[in-house]
Chains A and B, each alone.
Chain A
Amino acid sequence: KNEVEQSPQNLTAQEGEFITINCSYSVGISALHWLQQHPGGGIVSLFMLSSGKKKHGRLIATINIQEKHSSLHITASHPRDSAVYICAVLPNTGNQFYFGTGTSLTVIP
């Protein structure tokens, strides 16, 4: 049973579109991590959140602790944004992250 659900699983967008990826979880958390994985395997950290909103360039991440929900937004999407985006949560009671299965994004020129 996965405690972290992401939607959609797959997403295709035209270059320039605004993109939203959603993450819902079922437990109280200390932190939520958004990660990006390009073909070939390497995973990089995008955001670490425990409340509110963070912005980095064209990427925005928000979290609603009461609703146990987070969103990752990409403005003015570009083909180089094509990757798998992964949400991970760190429960209040544990020391390990639990991961969603990822959202595969393809941005078409």
Chain B
Amino acid sequence: DVKVTQSSRYLVKRTGEKVFLECVQDMDHENMFWYRQDPGLGLRLIYFSYDVKMKEKGDIPEGYSVSREKKERFSLILESASTNQTSMYLCASRSGGETYEQYFGPGTRLTVT
């Protein structure tokens, strides 16, 4: 069974803290994605990676960075968390072929106080 896991379901952090969100997939997928989901806005792409050590900015990369040192693992980093980064964060992965189907993790609900 296809599996994408995220390190935490719920996280509460203080303003200014450095936050790490981890995502692991077991499908040997080339592509991995980090989204945030906010009411009324849908899912918005923060960053994606199409290979180890490769990354591309999505639509809303400001305030975030990513790391992909191994194929199965894609980390999202909030260098200095702010209250406007309170959101649901979803990781997804997809193979490099033309199947296109994305598989999502369970999400991390991050609250920054």
Contact = CB atoms under 8 A, between A and B. Distances in A.
Given A95-B48, A96-B48, A102-B42, A42 B103 contact: no
Interface in A29-53: 30-31, 33, 35, 40-45, 48
Interface string A4-45: 100000000000000000000000001101010000111111
A101 B88 contact: no
B9, B43, B58, B107: residue with the most chain A Cβ atoms closer than 10 Å: B43
Contact of A2 (B42, B88, B106): B42
- Dominant secondary structure at the A interface: strand
Given A48-B101, A101-B40, A96 B45 contact: yes
Contact of B42 (A41, A86, A96): A86
B74 interface: no
A44, A48, A88, A97: residue with the most chain B Cβ atoms closer than 10 Å: A97
Nearest to B50: A95
23 contacts: A2-B42, A30-B98, A30-B100, A31-B100, A33-B101, A41-B9, A41-B90, A41-B106, A41-B109, A42-B106, A42-B107, A43-B92, A43-B107, A44-B104, A45-B103, A48-B100, A48-B101, A95-B31, A95-B56, A96-B45, A99-B43, A99-B44, A101-B40
Interface of A: 2, 4, 30-31, 33, 35, 40-45, 48, 86, 88, 90, 95-97, 99-102
Interface of B: 9, 31, 33, 40-45, 48, 50, 56, 58, 88, 90, 92, 98-104, 106-107, 109
